[in-house]
């Protein structure tokens, strides 16, 4: 096949960031994006807290919207006890949301497309909620794996299933986010590379035909925007659900 070669996966490769300093301390371009996400969240809060008006302006309304959205999610899912975990859930949600969103921009690294990152987040959520479960209920938390209202002879079958489904939580949680973000970015790159291929292969006709993959990428941009928000929401609400299980045991 003639024309430029396209590596749709190259965009995910990690390189040292911050110039020479990053090389010395293994600070990658992915960490740069994380730092940018944290800085953007802090800046949004700074902007939202500037006026502290009774009738909020745009920035303040945005921050209040985020605040009340996550707070309601915590309270509705976990219950009143959920307010203890609200700052944590908010941090995770905002970090993933802004990470997903800035990953959509050219030259920005989508750190949520790395399984190491999402698995670390998911493992943290898993270990934290399990810890909350044992902290709240002590060893009684083990009864979480015994479904109530089930005949005794079924328990040897059901308890392992419950345990396996519990242990698979971090896997599904991390793979969902990782796969969604990776697939979106790969598709984008593929369609964009396709435009180069068309132009290289068919000259002027190919250039005109490139309108089709371009249109697809425009549509994909809208889809990816949706996915970015949705996956952050899914991660946060599943975090809340796991915390609910830990606090209420059912």
Partner 1 sequence: MRGLTTAVLLGILPSAALAEGTMPQMDFSNPLTLDQVGWMAVIMVGLYLVLSRWGLPQIGKVIENRADVIAKDLAAARAAKIEADTAVAQLNAALVAARAAAQGEVARAVAEAKAKATADAAALNAQLDARLAAAETQIEAARASALAAIKPVAAEAAGAILLKLTGSLPGEDVLAPNLDAALLARSGG
The correct pick among 48, 82, 170, 184 for binding partner 1 (CB under 8 A) is 48
By CB under 8 A, name the one of 21, 61, 116, 150 that touches partner 1. Answer: 116
Site size for partner 1, by CB under 8 A? 62
Q: Which of 59, 159, 190, 249 contacts partner 1 by CB under 8 A?
A: 190
Query: Shortest distance, CB of residue 168 to partner 1, whole angstroms?
Result: 20
User: Residue 203, SS3?
Assistant: helix
User: Rg of the chain over CA atoms, in angstroms?
Assistant: 22
d(CA 103, CA 106): 8
DSSP 78-138: H-GGGGGGHHHHHHHHHHHHHHHHHHTSTT---GGG-HHHHHHHHHHHHHHHHHHHHHHHG
Q: Identify which range of 25-33, 142-150, 167-175, 226-234 contacts partner 1 by CB under 8 A.
A: 25-33
For residue 148, give the DSSP letter: T
Beta strands in 153-238 (DSSP E): none
- Positions that interact with partner 1 (CB under 8 A): 1, 5-10, 12-16, 26-28, 30-31, 34-35, 38, 41-42, 45, 48-49, 52, 54, 60, 63-64, 67-68, 86-88, 90-92, 94-95, 111, 113-117, 120-121, 178, 182, 186-187, 189-190, 193-194, 197-198, 202, 205, 209, 212
């Amino acid at each position: 096949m003639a024309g430029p070669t396209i590596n749709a996966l190259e965009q995910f490769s990690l390189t040292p960031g911050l110039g020479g300093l990053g090389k010395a301390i293994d600070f990658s371009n992915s960490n740069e994006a994380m730092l940018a996400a944290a800085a953007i969240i802090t800046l949004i809060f700074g902007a939202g807290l500037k006026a502290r008006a009774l009738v909020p302006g745009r920035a303040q309304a945005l921050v209040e919207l985020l605040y009340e959205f996550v707070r309601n999610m915590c309270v509705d899912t976990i219950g009143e006890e959920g307010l203890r975990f609200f700052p944590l859930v908010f941090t995770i949600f905002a970090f993933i949301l802004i990470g997903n969103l800035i990953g959509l921009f050219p030259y920005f690294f989508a750190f949520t497309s790395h399984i190491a990152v999402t698995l670390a987040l998911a493992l943290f959520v898993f270990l934290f909620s399990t810890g909350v479960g044992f902290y709240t209920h002590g060893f009684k938390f083990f009864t979480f794996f015994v479904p109530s209202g089930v005949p005794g002879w079924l328990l040897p079958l059901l308890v392992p299933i419950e345990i396996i489904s519990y242990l698979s939580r971090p896997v599904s949680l991390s793979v969902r986010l990782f796969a969604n973000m990776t697939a979106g970015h790969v598709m984008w790159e593929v369609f964009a590379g396709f435009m180069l291929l068309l132009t290289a292969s068919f000259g002027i006709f190919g250039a005109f035909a490139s309108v089709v993959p371009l249109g697809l990428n425009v549509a994909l941009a809208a889809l990816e925007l949706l996915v970015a928000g949705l996956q952050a929401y899914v991660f946060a609400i599943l975090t809340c659900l796991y915390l609910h299980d830990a606090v209420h045991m059912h």
